[in-house]
Chain A
Amino acid sequence: MNAPSSPVILLGYRPWRGALRGPWYGMWAIARSSLFLLLRRKMFWALYGVSAMVFLLFFYGQYLHSWLQTQIPDEPIRLGSGMVGATVKPKELIDIFRKILHLDGSGYTFRNFIKFESQIVMIVLALAGAVLIGNDFRFGSLPFYLSKPLHRWHYLGGKFLAVGILINLMITLPAVLLFVEYGFIDSWDYYWDSIHLLVGIVIFGALITIVLGLLLLATATWLRRTMPIIMVWTTLFVFSGGLSDLLVISFRLDSRWRLIDIWNNLYLVGNWCLQMDPATIPTPFQPRYSEAAAVLVVVCLACFAYLNRRLQAVEVA
């Protein structure tokens, strides 16, 4: 680890004569340190493994689906025998398969994929909040950061960068890989014809990064410990969904009551990004895309305002 003694002696203790890279580079250093801490957790790797499994399911599923389409005969085939047997057309079987999983490189594919991955990401973030940010406030590591030539925003920016890298490694990048893969399976025209999907994936990923990142920073700086953060995230993303279902479906209240569910809002705006028809959304009675987007903007502004207030008062006492 330690260098040979001669360069150390030559270096001694001298003023810096080069150009420092500035606080933006410091943000990257903060993000690296934060990710380093997270990547040492086995729990993270377990969840990342689940996330990778989902990706592989879609990745090979798309390939398999495409391959099956080229292999099926036109004639009907008989499945089973005797009383339990039935004659089915293979093409219809594939259609059912396609309708359920949507492994066809369409907006449905990416919508479903991002939905599954986001749920894992939310669990990861709820667990990582304390490690990434909360512990700095709780145990007093902040003086090490804040005694460096960094603004408080640079510190939070570094943490946000770490969260963003995490989210995009688990959501956006795999989704883009699926898009690329389907182009190879289908045809080169797919890339051009479905370019809006690629743009939608990137915007949806960015949206999830911004909303979840700001929410995590706000909740972690506020609550600091893992359990309270998990409880708040469960309330925000699980209980609010159940409550909105209860209000809209059981009590037949206005569909705008669904706006209390932040994940649903993200999902709706994601559908908007992927140019999906609102009628294709599985859960009934949904508010308009624009209303969901407005709520997300308000949530982000609220988080931003809270963080700004915290930062103005970040006094390491």
Chain B
Amino acid sequence: MAHRYDINSALLRDLKVPLDGRTSSSHSATPKQHSQGPSVSGTAVIGVAFKDGIVLAADTVGSYGTLCKIRTVPRLLKVNKNTVLAMSGDYADFQFIEQHIGKQSIRDFNSDDGYEWSPKSLHSWLTRVLYNARSKIDPLWNSYVVGGYETETNRPYLGGLTMLGISYTSPYVATGFGRFIAQPFLADQVEKNPELDEKTARVAAIHALRLLYYRNRESSNKYQLAVVTKDNAVVEPVKEFETAWDTALMIRGYD
């Protein structure tokens, strides 16, 4: 079954390439394969649905193994006034998807029939793209959170998607490391208050990122939020959240 992907081995693989450009696998039985692991990647993203919309949140780091290679890179994409997308995993693969979505959006606009992406249709389409890539054993190394406002049902839409094409909907979603740390916190928030309003959802989303920042060395406190309500999607400018490290001194072995 599926093996856990070890990001450190990706870095080691790259370091093993000699400076003259010849790959170390040139004398092994199998040729060097590309697209078999992420290089510059984004860590966890999260999504929370509230009464009349959704919030997506992501920090802005592009990591190269354990190296913080890019400190400010946007990981949220506004697709249209109803639909936003949050990525984690390989950034180049995300840029490929971004171009793909851009082209399709232009084609839809040119058709002039009023049709455009809805969060549900984008989720469904992305699922097919990732599933087809995995079926060719040439996966796009991304997990996504798709969110927005579904005008057909007049309800917020929030869904998750993994690199193998596993897609699902849920009132709260987190990818990668966020499944361990952010998801339990968000579940608690949503259960305590099933009719979240926008303000509470934003606070919960930022706090989920904060919890991740405390335990995930790949993350940072620079973040972006995307908020979608009926006919209005906003990807907000990069901000920083406050952190408190005084309790860390109570952890044995911290210093």
A binds B: no
State the B residues within 8 Å of A (CB).
Answer: none
